[in-house]
Amino acid sequence: MVGIIDLNTTEEDETTPSSVSLSSPSSSSASALSASNLSPPGSSASSTVCLELWHACAGPLISLPKRGSVVVYFPQGHLEQLPDLPLAACDLPSHIFCRVVDVKLHAEAANDDVYAQVSLVPENEQIGQELKERKIEGDGEEEDMKAAVKSRTPHMFCKTLTASDTSTHGGFSVPRRAAEDCFPPLDYSQQRPSQELVAKDLHGFEWRFRHIYRGQPRRHLLTTGWSAFVNKKKLVSGDAVLFLRGADGELRLGIRRAAQVKCGATLPAQCSQQLNHSTLTDVVNAISMRSVFNIYYNPRASLSEFIIPFHKFLKSLDHSFSIGMRFKMRFETEDAAERRYVGMITGISDLDPARWPGSKWRCLRVRWDDMETSRHSRVSPWEIEPSGPVSSCSTFMAPGLKRSRSGLPSSKHEFPVPDGIGVSDFGESSRFQKVLQGQEILSFNTPYDGVDQNRHLSETRRCVPSSLGSGIATRRNGAEGPVASSDVSHKGIGCSESFRLHKVLQGQEIIPRSPFRRSPTSNDVSENGCFGISDGVQMTSSRNGWSAMMQGYNTHMRPPTQVSSPSSVLMFQQACNPISNPSPAYNLSDHEEQGIGIQSWFRNSETCDGKRMSSHSEHICRRDDQWGISSFGVSRDHIQHGIAQSTFRGGHDIVTSCKSSCRLFGFQLTEDRHVANKDDDVSIPATSLKPGSSFLPHVGEQFHLKPPAITNAVGSNCTKGILQQHPENYHIY
Partner DNA sequence: CTGTGGGCATCTAGCCGACAA
Partner DNA sequence: TTGTCGGCTAGATGCCCACAG
Count of residues of this chain found to bind a second copy when the rule CB under 8 A is applied: 27
**Segment (H or E) for 590:** helix 588-594
Of the residues 81, 94, 279, 496, which one makes contact with a second copy according to CB under 8 A: 279
- The item of a second copy, DNA, none sharing an interface with residue 109, based on CB under 5 to 8 Å by kind, is a second copy
Amino acid 83 reads P
Q: Which does 669 bind (CB under 5 to 8 A by kind): DNA, a second copy, none?
A: DNA
Per DSSP, the residues of 78-131 read HHHH-TT---------S-EEEEEEEEEEEE-TTT--EEEEEEEEE--THHHHHH
Site string for DNA, 663-682 (x = CB under 7 A): ------xx------------
Cβ closest to a second copy, residue 135 vs residue 234: 234
Strands 114-122 and 96-107: antiparallel
Q: Are the C-beta atoms of residues 641 and 29 closer than 8 Å to each other?
A: yes
Query: Where does this chain touch a second copy (CB under 8 A) — which range of 264-272, 316-324, 516-524, 723-731?
Result: 264-272
Residue 476 contacts residue 407 (beta carbons within 8 Å): yes
- Shortest Cβ distance from residue 166 to DNA (Å)? 8
Residue 706 binds to DNA (criterion: CB under 7 A)? no
Q: CA 694 to CA 723: how far, in whole Å? A: 9
Beta-sheet strand order (sheet of 364-368): 378-379, 364-368, 338-348, 326-332, 385-386
Least CB distance to DNA at residue 158 (A): 12
- Spatial contact of 203 and 272, defined as CB atoms under 8 Å apart: no
User: Which one-letter DSSP state was computed for residue 416?
Assistant: -
How distant, in Å, are the alpha carbons of 143, 341, 392, 616 from that of 613?
Answer: 21, 14, 9, 9
Instruction: State the DSSP H helix or E strand holding residue 42, giving kind and residue range, or none if neither.
Output: helix 42-45
Partner whose footprint covers residue 92, from a second copy, DNA, none (CB < 5 to 8 Å by kind): none
Residue 86's binding partner, choosing from a second copy, DNA, none, with beta-carbon cut-off 5 to 8 A by kind?
A: a second copy
Query: What is the distance between the alpha carbons of residues 166 and 622, in angstroms, rounded to a whole number?
Result: 38
The binder of a second copy chosen from 2, 5, 292, 303 (CB under 8 A):
292
**CB closer to DNA out of 210 and 233:** 210
User: What SS3 class is residue 715?
Assistant: coil
Distance CA 612, CA 512 (A): 6
Determine, following the binding rule CB under 7 A, whether residue 62 of this chain makes contact with DNA: no
Q: Dihedral (C-alpha) 316, 320, 321, 325: value to the nearest 10 degrees?
A: -120
Report whether 603 contacts 60 (CB < 8 A).
yes
CA proximity to 132, closest of 430, 554, 499, 668: 554
CB of 275 to a second copy, least distance (A): 5
Classified as helix, coil or strand, 409 is: helix
Closest CB 700 distance from DNA, rounded Å: 21
- How much of the chain is in helix, strand and coil states, percent to nearest 5? 40, 15, 45
CB of 285 to a second copy, least distance (A): 4
Identify which of residues 293 and 648 has a Cβ nearer to a second copy in the complex: 293
Q: Using CB under 8 A as the criterion, what x/- string covers residues 109-138 for binding a second copy?
A: xx--------x-------------------
From candidates 9, 124, 285, 521, binder to a second copy by CB under 8 A: 285
By the rule CB under 8 A, 54 interacts with a second copy: no
**What is the distance between the alpha carbons of residues 330 and 50, in angstroms, rounded to a whole number?**
26
Q: Give which of DNA, a second copy, none residue 411 binds (C-beta under 5 to 8 Å, depending on kind).
A: none
Question: From CA 333, how far away is CA 312, in angstroms rounded?
Answer: 23
How large is the C-alpha radius of gyration of the chain? 24
The answer to whether the Cα torsion of 624, 628, 634, 637 is positive or negative is positive
Q: Candidates 218, 412, 678, 706: give the one binding DNA (CB under 7 A).
A: 218
Biggest alpha carbon–alpha carbon distance for the chain: 74
Min dist. Cβ of residue 223 to a second copy (A): 23
> Using the rule CB under 8 A, which residue among 54, 183, 213, 293 binds a second copy?
293
Q: Which is nearer to a second copy, 56 or 202 (CB)?
A: 202
- 330 forms beta bridges with 340
Q: Is 226 in the site for DNA (CB under 7 A)?
A: yes
660 binds, among DNA, a second copy, none (CB under 5 to 8 A by kind): DNA
- Residues that bind DNA (rule: CB under 7 A) add up to a total of 39
Question: Which stretch in 29-37, 172-180, 365-373, 691-699 sits in contact with DNA by CB under 7 A?
Answer: 172-180
User: Cα–Cα distance between 705 and 115 in angstroms, integer?
Assistant: 21
Min separation Cβ 47 and a second copy, Å? 11
Contact map string, positions 13 to 42, toward a second copy, x by CB under 8 A:
------------------------------
Q: How many beta carbons lie within 10 A of that of residue 681, not counting itself?
A: 12
d(CA 412, CA 584): 45
User: Which of 260/320 has CB closer to DNA?
Assistant: 260
Shortest distance, CB of residue 294 to a second copy, whole angstroms? Answer: 6
Q: Does the footprint of DNA cover residue 543 (CB under 7 A)? A: no
Select from 44, 110, 203, 214 the one that contacts DNA (CB under 7 A): 214
Verify binding: residue 661, DNA, rule CB under 7 A. Answer: yes
d(CA 242, CA 201): 10
Binding partner of residue 171 among a second copy, DNA, none, CB cut-off 5 to 8 Å per kind? DNA
Contacting residue, 116, 241, 251, 662, with DNA by CB under 7 A: 662
Write out the residues near a second copy by the rule CB under 8 A. Answer: 86, 88-89, 106, 108-110, 119, 267-269, 271, 274-275, 277-279, 281-282, 284-286, 289, 291-294
Write out the residues near DNA by the rule CB under 7 A. Answer: 162-165, 168-171, 173-178, 192, 210, 212, 214-221, 223-224, 226-228, 660-662, 669-670, 710, 712, 716-717
